[in-house]
Amino acid sequence: MDVVVCVKQVPDTEQPIRVRPDGGGVEEQGLNWILNYYDEHAVEEALRVREKHGGTVTVVCVGPARATEALRTALAMGADEAVHVQDPALDGADHLGVARVLAETIRQLRYDLVLCGRLATDDNASVVGPALAEYLGLPQATAISRLDISDGVAAVEREVEGGVEVLQVPLPAVFTVERTINEPRYPTLPGIMKAKRKEIRTLGLRDLGLEPGQVGAEAARVRYSRFDPPPRREAGRVVTPDSPEEGARLIAQFLQETAKVL
Amino acid sequence: MGSDVWVIADHAGGSPRRITLELLGKGRELADARGGRLVAVALGHPLDGLPRTLGEYGADAVLSVEHPHLRSYSTEAYTEVLSGIVRQRAPWLVMVPSTAWGRDCAPRLAARVGAGVVTDVEALWVQDGRLQARRPMYTRKVMGTVEYVGDGPHLAVVLPKVFAPAERREGRTADVEVVAVQVPEPRTRLVETRSLQRERVSLTEAEVVVSGGRGLRGPENFALLDALAAELGAAVGSSRPPVDSGWVPHDYEIGQTGKTVSPTVYIAVGISGAPQHLAGMSGSKYIVAINKDPNAPIFQVASLGVVGDLFQIVPKLTEEVRRLKAQG
Ligand SMILES: Cc1cc2nc3c(=O)[nH]c(=O)nc-3n(C[C@H](O)[C@H](O)[C@H](O)COP(=O)(O)OP(=O)(O)OC[C@H]3O[C@@H](n4cnc5c(N)ncnc54)[C@H](O)[C@@H]3O)c2cc1C
């Protein structure tokens, strides 16, 4: 079973993120870049598939030079190979553009299964996975919390409103994973050392037979025009009541008179 | 290009779900601004009285698509049907509810028809003739404004509880058009949908959310929140530690790696207010916090913060709410 995992490098949200004064983006200085949280789960799931069924795990990333580190993290977890697509012509690409680039990259690889994270924690878009499935012409399931493969068919579960769907999906297919699917392993020291020595294949648009006009800023159907800090919440009231009864009364009064939900 | 605004209906048992009404409310405004019609699109089998009801909520026209393969959601069948009618009729804007199926389908539909797509939409407006959307990013530390390029169709996946629902007016009617479609057998098979067997208000639709954190100390203490929620008609949610500890299932989780909710009131009980938690609830209209630590960060965003022991306050609050309700 050959598995391809799509990964993204994102800023760690543990740290403050500030909008640039000109509203044109976020302040990049001082950001700590990490492998997207959900992609860690996707890599982990791919490793488990390999452990059970044999085969290879290849991680693919579309992103600037610094994103190589995200691929190294995935290699350190145990992925076999890494492909990094970087091209200045991808500045201003939208998610559909990125999905097309991933699709063309994956077409050049051997795969029975493609995994992505449910979303990337920078922009939270959750667009790339299903768009990639479309461009590859494969069945999909999003936000899966369980994956079992036998005889070329995947049994997957996904949370829906009020329940859990159980689906049978013929492979190859594209799945995006929910965090509950597994507990990712930590890279081991030997794993990290080995990952440092591994070669990461770097490709540009031309290697994929793509033109900037097909996937870059020109092709984008949406573009970010500005970024703002969130609206400030009105400062509230914090009280230390004399008794639990008093605290309860204050809250109930608030619910009735201010929020009007009683 | 067209100027119609479409709303893809989320429905159950022949009735529209609340988010559908919210989309119809906003859709009406945008269709009027654009000079187009508000069109509701209903996929299912059977649809029963749904098309007529959608008219009562203000749709000018309803596209009614019934087919056995549309009985339950499937990526392939929905994408096939929706892409067919979008291509044929060229709407300006397609509004999709941010539900499990909406998030699954919309990006694929966008890729198939070559439309721009924006998810987690919290605001939509037209500026200089161009459609704009606003959405939270970076654990809600940033609000991004996205501009759609070109004349459409544009796709917007809209979060629940951000737009006011359309009002129902009996007797108002829409032109209902029955659309005949051919739907190939999907490759993916839905084996079953296991219901989580919980009779509670849905978290994302609830007017009031009562949410518990690590301060609850164990699964049994969620009963305190259940009792309060029952009096308030509220949904119960949680921060992440109760999920990770197995006290409550993952669908309780609110925050960066859980759900985004924007109720009228969010009651945070024993929750410190970490940025990843705030990411999922700081869009709430009012926030009430109960925490024994006066320095808990949750108090910085709370409309009303009460410093104290949750185990003492919550049962009293449930009693007090019951008493106020009895007074009418
Ligand atoms: C990538 C990533 C994603 C994450 N995603 C999420 C997410 O989606 N949602 C989420 O919630 N977290 C998320 N987290 C975790 C987050 O950082 C916090 O650890 C978590 O929100 C803390 O939950 P808590 O407030 O319940 O627990 P704590 O921070 O431990 O707070 C417990 C609070 O309870 C109070 N308390 C204790 N006993 C009592 C009592 N008897 N009466 C009153 N108050 C009491 C304490 O004073 C304290 O403030 C994420 C973290 C990471 C790294």
User: Which among B199, B202, B209 has a CA at the least distance from the CA of B269?
Assistant: B209
Give Cα A33 to chain centroid, integer Å: 13
As its CATH architecture, domain B208-326 has: 3-Layer(aba) Sandwich (3.40)
A103 belongs to a structural domain: yes
The rounded distance, in Å, linking the Cα atoms of B31 and B280 is 30
Q: Which atom of ligand 1 has the smallest separation from the CA of B271?
A: 25
* Interface A-B: count of C-beta contacts within 8 A: 283
Residue A260 shares a structural domain with residue A192: no
Same domain for A213 and A236? no
- Partners of B286 in the beta sheet? B265
The average pLDDT across A167-184 equals 98
What are the DSSP calls for B67-105, one per residue?
A: -GGGSS--HHHHHHHHHHHHHHH--SEEEEE-SHHHHHH
Q: Is A226 contained in some domain?
A: no
How many A from CA of B239 to the centre of ligand 1? 6
For residue range B167-181, what is the model confidence (pLDDT) as tens digits? 999 999 999 999 999
Statement: residue A15 has pLDDT above 90: no
Whole-Å CA distances, A40 to A51, A75, A202: 16, 11, 21
Residue A224 in domain: no
Q: How far apart are CA B163 and CA B17, in angstroms?
A: 14
Would you state the structure tokens that stand for residue B222, as one six-digit string?
A: 């969620």
Residues A60, A38 contacting (CB under 8 angstroms): no
- Asked casually if ipTM beats, i.e. exceeds, 0.85, the reply is yes
Q: Confirm if A162 and B196 have CB atoms less than 8 A apart.
A: yes
User: Does residue A152 belong to any structural domain of this protein?
Assistant: yes
Please check whether residues A105 and A194 belong to one and the same domain.
yes
Inter-chain contact B117–A95, Cβ cutoff 8 Å?
Answer: yes
B257 touching chain A per CB within 8 A: yes
Region(s) of chain B under CATH 3.40.50.620 = 5-178
Instruction: Please give the full DSSP string across B101-149, using - where no structure is assigned.
Output: HHHHHHHHHHHHHT-EEEEEE-EEEEETTEEEEEEEETTTTEEEEEEE-
pLDDT tens column, B274-324: 999 999 999 999 999 999 999 999 999 999 999 999 999 999 999 999 999
Tell me, yes or no, whether A225 lies in a domain.
Answer: no
For residue A241, give how far its alpha carbon lies from the nearest alpha carbon of chain B (Å). 7
Give, for A95, the enclosing helix (H) or strand (E). Answer: helix A95-107
Structure confidence at residue B196 (pLDDT)? 78
CA–CA dist B288, B312 (Å, integer): 16
Nearest residue in chain B measured CA to CA from A236? B303
pLDDT band at residue A68, thresholds of 50, 70 and 90?
A: very high
| pLDDT of res. B199 | 60
In this prediction, residue A88 carries a pLDDT of 97
Residue of B276, B295, B311 to mutate, ligand 1, most atoms within 8 A of C-beta: B276
Q: Which fold, B5-178?
A: Rossmann fold (3.40.50)
State which amino acid sits at residue A73: T
Beta carbon of B221 within 6 Å of any ligand 1 atom: no
Mutation to probe ligand 1, out of B236, B260, B267, B272 (largest number of atoms < 8 A from CB): B272
The stretch A104-113 carries a mean pLDDT of 98
Instruction: Yes or no: say if B177 and B73 are a contact pair by the CB < 8 Å rule.
Output: no
Residue B96 has pLDDT above 90, yes or no: yes
The answer to whether residue A147 sits within a structural domain is yes
pLDDT tens for B189-246 read 999 999 876 667 889 999 999 999 999 999 999 999 999 999 999 999 999 999 999 9
| Segments of chain B assigned to CATH 3.40.50.1220 | 208-326
Nearest CA to ligand 1 atom 51: B276
From A38, A240, A252, residue closest to B321, measured CB to CB: A252
pTM score: 0.95
Domain count across chain A: 2
Band of pLDDT at residue B1, cut at 50, 70 and 90: low
Residues A136, A238 within the same domain = no
Beta pairing class for B130-137 and B235-238: unpaired
> Domain range holding A51?
3-219
Domain assignment present for residue A54? The answer is: yes
Query: Could you tell which of B140, B203, B239 is best to mutate to test the pocket of ligand 1, judged by most ligand atoms within 8 Å of the CB?
Result: B239
Examine the domain organization and report whether A212 and A255 are in the same domain.
no
Task: Please report the pLDDT score of residue A139 as a whole number.
Answer: 98
Assess whether the C-beta atom of B213 lies below 6 angstroms from ligand 1.
yes
- Please tell me the distance from the alpha carbon of residue B22 to that of residue B167, in angstroms, as a whole number: 9
Q: What is the CATH number of the domain that holds A186?
A: 3.40.50.620
Whether residue A169 is contained in a domain is answered as: yes
- Residues B308, A46: Cα–Cα separation, whole Å: 46
Q: Which residue type occupies B39?
A: V
**What is the Cα Rg of chain B in Å?**
21
Q: Please, which pLDDT band fits residue A233 given cuts at 50, 70 and 90?
A: confident
User: What is the rounded average pLDDT of the residues B91-104?
Assistant: 98
B43 touches chain A (CB under 8 A): no
Distance CA B247, CA B221 (A): 9
pLDDT grade, residue A79 (50/70/90)?
Answer: very high
Average pLDDT of span B61-74:
97
Token duo for residue B180: 């005949």
pLDDT band at A14 (very low <50, low <70, confident <90, very high): confident
Distance from C-alpha of B21 to C-alpha of A148, rounded to nearest angstrom: 38
| B125 CB burial (10 A radius; 0-12, 13-18, 19+) | middle
Do residues B296 and B272 make contact, with C-beta atoms less than 8 angstroms apart? yes
Give φ, ψ of B85 to 5 degrees.
-75, -30
Q: Is the CB of B256 under 6 A from ligand 1?
A: yes
Best mutation target among B105, B117, B196 (most A Cβ atoms within 10 Å) is B117
